[in-house]
């Protein structure tokens, strides 16, 4: 009987911890993809949709595939310019799109070409208004150069 009570208590604790962990996950990432590269190409972009339950900011990105930075793009005197940004705002409950021609994750110094179908580890760091940080770890699919979206660097 005592053993059954211990097992029941352990199961309840496990369930409670699982529920608490699920509630702590306040950020969802959808439709993440990386543009494939050709031989010799050392840079590319990653794109995705990020939704946070609470107001937050994407403050950093990292990957073992190469150097990763948060970038923006804008037209200036008829020329598209790309530049690093400190953060991307994530309004509560609304998707922030990192897309070709706008904010995106920029990869530099790639260690190897990225082929369609590969999966690349990518870590996002999200900061909330109370300065608490949450890390989202992804395995992002590489799509072909002619795949979704058009984005050149």
Q: Where are the alpha helices (DSSP H) in the chain?
A: 2-24
Structure-block tokens of residue 36: 């494939």
pLDDT digits (tens, 9 = 90+) for 71-104: 999 888 989 899 999 999 999 999 999 999 999 9
Q: Are 80 and 152 in contact (CB under 8 A)?
A: no
Chain position carrying tokens 């590269």: 37
pLDDT digits (tens, 9 = 90+) for 126-143: 999 999 999 999 999 999
Q: What is the mean pLDDT of the chain?
A: 84
Phi, psi of 3 (to 5 degrees): -65, -40
**Which of 142, 149, 61, 64 has the alpha carbon at shortest distance from 106?**
61
pLDDT (0 to 100) of residue 146: 63
How far apart, in whole angstroms, are the C-alpha atoms of residue 135 and residue 7? 32
Q: Which domains does the chain have, with CATH numbers?
A: 27-143 (2.60.40.1890)
pLDDT (0 to 100) of residue 145: 73
Over range 35-52, report the average pLDDT: 95
Chain position carrying tokens 């993440």: 32
pLDDT (0 to 100) of residue 80: 86
pLDDT (0 to 100) of residue 147: 53
pLDDT digits (tens, 9 = 90+) for 97-132: 999 999 999 999 999 999 999 999 999 999 999 999
How far apart, in whole angstroms, are the C-alpha atoms of residue 140 and residue 20? 26
pLDDT digits (tens, 9 = 90+) for 3-17: 443 433 334 434 443
Instruction: Estimate to the nearest angstrom the gap between the alpha carbon of 77 and the chain centroid.
Output: 31
For residue 152, is pLDDT > 50?
no
Kindly state the percentage of the chain with pLDDT values over 70.
Answer: 78
The alpha carbon torsion through 26, 50, 46, 103 (nearest 10 deg) reads -130
């Amino acid at each position: 009987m005592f053993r059954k009570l211990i097992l029941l208590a352990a199961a309840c604790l496990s369930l409670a911890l699982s529920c608490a962990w699920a509630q702590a996950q306040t950020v969802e990432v959808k439709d993440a993809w990386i543009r494939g590269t050709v031989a010799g190409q050392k840079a590319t972009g990653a794109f995705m949709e990020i939704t946070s339950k609470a107001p937050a900011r994407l403050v950093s990105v990292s990957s073992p595939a190469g150097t990763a930075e948060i970038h923006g793009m804008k037209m200036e005197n008829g020329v598209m310019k790309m530049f690093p940004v400190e953060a991307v705002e994530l309004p509560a409950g609304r998707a922030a799109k990192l897309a070709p021609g706008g904010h995106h994750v920029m990869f530099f110094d790639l260690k190897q070409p990225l082929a369609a179908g590969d999966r690349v580890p990518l870590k996002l760091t999200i900061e909330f208004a109370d300065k608490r940080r949450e890390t989202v770890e992804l395995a992002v699919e590489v799509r072909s150069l002619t795949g979704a979206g058009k984005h050149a660097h």
